[in-house]
Amino acid sequence: MSRWSRGWPGALKARAARYALQRWIGPFLQEPLRLEQLGLDLGGGTGTLRGLRLRAQAVDELLLGAGAPLELLEGRVGAVTVAVPWAALGTEPVTLRVTELRLLLRPRQEGGRAWLSPGVGAGLDSRSPLRGLEALALTIESVLRRLRVVLEGRS
């Protein structure tokens, strides 16, 4: 095997992860994710994103849709680390650790418009013939019910 081809599996994994993350959280970020911001250890079950600047308007629209009395003006995240316990995924929590979270919030102004993204809250139709997809959704829901979020400040 040539020397240059040894790096491909890791590089392909990182690019695939970046692509998926960009699709899921990209609308809430001020700039597209860069590979340098992503750290992956898929075998160990961890992934980290560093240096994220939030797109305040997109995040605030979610807050407004949830009826939050505060509005986000600016936000940054030093790092987000996800730990997935692959061997005990059905029984142990997935841990989401957020460090150096900085949010500039203010009380919501009167007359704010209501908003709900077309995709938010859309569930699977119970009459859908896609039983495998429903089973996957139920599994993901089961894992997310045990999600543990840790917010850490700078010490």
Q: What is the pLDDT of residues 30-65, one digit of tens each?
A: 999 999 999 988 778 889 999 999 999 999 998 888
What's the CA gap between 111 and 66, in Å, rounded?
15
Look up the pTM and report it.
0.63
pLDDT reported for residue 90: 81
Domain coordinates in residue numbering, the chain: 3-120+127-152
Rounded Cα distance, 49 and 63, in Å: 22
Computed over every residue of the chain, the mean pLDDT equals 76
84 vs 149: CA distance, rounded Å:
12
User: pLDDT digit string (tens) for 76-86?
Assistant: 999 999 898 88
Give the sheet arrangement for strand 38-41, strand by strand. 38-41, 46-53, 70-83, 95-107, 148-152
